[in-house]
Structure 1
Amino acid sequence: MTTPQAVIFDIGNVLLEWNPERFYDWQIGRAQREALFAEVDLHAMNEAIDAGAPFRDTIYDLADRTPDWAEEIRMWHDNWLDMASPRIDGSVTLLRALRSRGVAVFALTNFGIGSFDYAKTRYDFLSEFDRAYVSGHLGVTKPDPRIYERVEADCGLPPGSLLFTDDREANIAVARARGWRCHLFEGWQGWARRLVAEGLLNEKEAGL
């Protein structure tokens, strides 16, 4: 099998840890967090942002409509960088090792327009992709097949030449059905081993 022509990274839980529940447990305690998430669909709010809704306005509008939890909802915006952390250093090293080798590296991520711009103020590696396919800008989120079609059309590479990692099986399944090479991300070491197996890095470059 030929060597992949481009490597595609998801971002949340691949390059950055993303666990809002953990953040809220730290801020308000588990019992209060469970009550909040039972009463307010914060994940649906975030999905709307990932699909292109305004970052701050979407969160603050929900807070205004939910006065009992207004302060906690606004944390999703005001403390967002504390939620989208820490970075996964092993994955960042792999991204940079690939680029040093001259391998094209793309991002394919469910991320809002404003939240992605905000994240780039802290995480310099988010500006290092050859191409960044951000759902908020595209107006469609994974695992909708249209977002994968957009990637193929824009980069012009055949599906079988794309190597994609994501932490969600549903996102992987759609890509695999389109002919992409895929790796379910469960830790940077496993991803490193896959990159070595594909002939993209050697063990030293991969940190193994």
Structure 2
Amino acid sequence: MNSRRFSVFLVPAKDDRRWAEGVIAELAARYDAPLFEPHVTVYGGNYTEDAELEPVRRALAGAAAETGPITLRVTGLGVTEEYFKTLFVSFGEDPRLRRLHEAVKGAVARDSGYELVPHLSLLYADIPLAAKEMAAGTVSLDREEMRFDEVKIVAPDPVTGWRDAMRWQTLFRVRLGETAEDIRAVLFDYGGVLAEEGFREGLFEIARRQGLDPIAVHGVGMEVVYGSGYVLGKGSETAFWSLMRERAGLRGSDRELSALVLDRFVLRPEMLELVRALRAKGYITAIVSDQTDWLEWLDRRDGFFREFDRVFNSYRLGKGKRDPSLFDDVARELGIVPREAVFVDDMLANVVRAESRGMRGIVFDDEARFRQELKRFVEV
């Protein structure tokens, strides 16, 4: 599997960010250079699988909860022959920034050897060193310190790399100093979190009974439930199973096959008890699920919708968690801003998308570990 790059960015707070963005824009226009987000790189490394970033996310979330915004002392402007250090603001050593760097370094699977030399670039350009020095002379550095209040994990485009700044992707973000007092809502996935993952287990069982490869059948199922339009309310149960018969070689009626899936969505009683406890404490609770009209059938069978303030089902919304803007929609409907919500899902990719919109996220592994993780954000 190919290795991919990532960096941890420390992002300036509002006023300092506005100043840096203005300088970057002015220099970019003058030297036909790219625009990019102002930041201090805390760490740069590699990963091969998304799961390898989970310890980094946890380390950053823990560090962010323990420290407030970081203020760095400005030591001047600098230039080098390096593209990514064309022209930059340099900073003095700071113990909290150093601890943040060490927290990430301790969490990565393989240390890249990245050395922390705190600076904030203002220009990326392939120009002579003399021209860079002239550019530095045009910058009015009118501040003795800069304040930073957010940390994020960013990855470059896998093809065009870091130079294509417009295609940098935010994989995780958290504001420094946020505590449980900031959280107003806890959002839960259904299958795999509130209930056993019936879709996966049902397809596994169908495959075993019919002598097929369970992993392959499940893989086809994940493609077809979206490809048929069923999960977004643009297709039907009949269309879904018809495609499954065609592409995975399944046999049996729609009713028989659906029953094998639905029977395996079994609610987790302790999770519902936790939801009740959260509501009793005044937190908003909601389901955010990529599900079909099966979710409504399951509610008629088990009666769990009443335990939540809202239910957001992709089948009714026409939009699923593969579209990160869904999380903006959910926050708006709940009357909150994204940073006031914790989103819980058993799929890392969905958690990453929620975090990219500003929500806090928890990847659900098991109930005991989840409860410990939740304590970082809420009091229950």
TM class by shorter chain equals 0.7 to 0.9
**1:59-112 deviations in whole A, cap 9, x for unaligned?**
35437868x63407653324332132x222222221121122222101111011
Asked if 1:171 corresponds to 2:344, the answer is: no
**Change in 2 beyond 3 A, CA 1:16/1:33:** farther
Residues 36 and 69 in structure 1, CA contact (< 8 A), matched pair in contact too: no
* Residue matched to 1:183: 362
Q: Which moved more, 1:1-10 or 1:19-28?
A: 19-28
Q: Distance in 2 between matches of 1:192 and 1:36?
A: 30
Q: Distance in 1 between matches of 2:214 and 2:254?
A: 12
Q: Superposed, which structure 2 residues align to 1:46-195 within 5 Å?
A: 46-47=225-226, 48-62=229-243, 69-71=250-252, 75-84=256-265, 86-112=266-292, 114-195=293-374
**Change in 2 beyond 3 A, CA 1:106/1:74:** same
Q: Secondary structure, in 3 states, of the residue corresponding to 2:252?
A: helix
Q: Which has the higher contact order (CA 8 A, sep 6+)?
A: 1
**Change in 2 beyond 3 A, CA 1:101/1:18:** same
Once superposed, what is the RMSD of the aligned Cα atoms?
2.9
Q: Which moved more, 1:170-179 or 1:35-44?
A: 35-44
Displaced runs of 4+ in structure 1, greater than 6 A?
none
Residue number among 12, 15, 18 corresponding to 2:197 in the alignment = 18
Residues 327 and 338 in structure 2, CA contact (< 8 A), matched pair in contact too: no
CA drift at 1:45: 2.8
Residues 111 and 135 in structure 1, CA contact (< 8 A), matched pair in contact too: yes
**1:152-185 deviations in whole A, cap 9, x for unaligned?**
2212201111111111111111111111111111
Q: Distance in 1 between matches of 2:343 and 2:214?
A: 36
Q: Distance in 1 between matches of 2:214 and 2:356?
A: 38
Q: Distance in 1 between matches of 2:286 and 2:270?
A: 17
CA drift at 1:9: 0.5
Q: Aligned partner of 2:237: which letter?
A: R
Q: Which moved more, 1:14-23 or 1:69-78?
A: 69-78
Q: Distance in 2 between matches of 1:87 and 1:33?
A: 28
Q: Which moved more, 1:118-127 or 1:55-64?
A: 55-64
Residues 245 and 251 in structure 2, CA contact (< 8 A), matched pair in contact too: yes
Residues 106 and 130 in structure 1, CA contact (< 8 A), matched pair in contact too: yes
* Residue matched to 1:33: 212
Give percent identity, aligned residues only.
Answer: 23
Residues 185 and 340 in structure 2, CA contact (< 8 A), matched pair in contact too: yes
Query: What TM-score does the superposition give when structure 2 sets the normalisation length?
Result: 0.47
Q: Which moved more, 1:23-32 or 1:176-185?
A: 23-32
Q: Which moved more, 1:157-166 or 1:94-103?
A: 94-103
Q: Which moved more, 1:73-82 or 1:131-140?
A: 73-82
Unpaired runs of at least 5, structure 2: 1-178
Q: Secondary structure, in 3 states, of the residue corresponding to 2:190?
A: coil
Residues 50 and 111 in structure 1, CA contact (< 8 A), matched pair in contact too: yes
Q: Distance in 2 between matches of 1:39 and 1:169?
A: 18
CA drift at 1:117: 1.1
Q: Which moved more, 1:165-174 or 1:86-95?
A: 86-95
Q: Secondary structure, in 3 states, of the residue corresponding to 1:107?
A: strand
Q: Distance in 1 between matches of 2:244 and 2:343?
A: 36
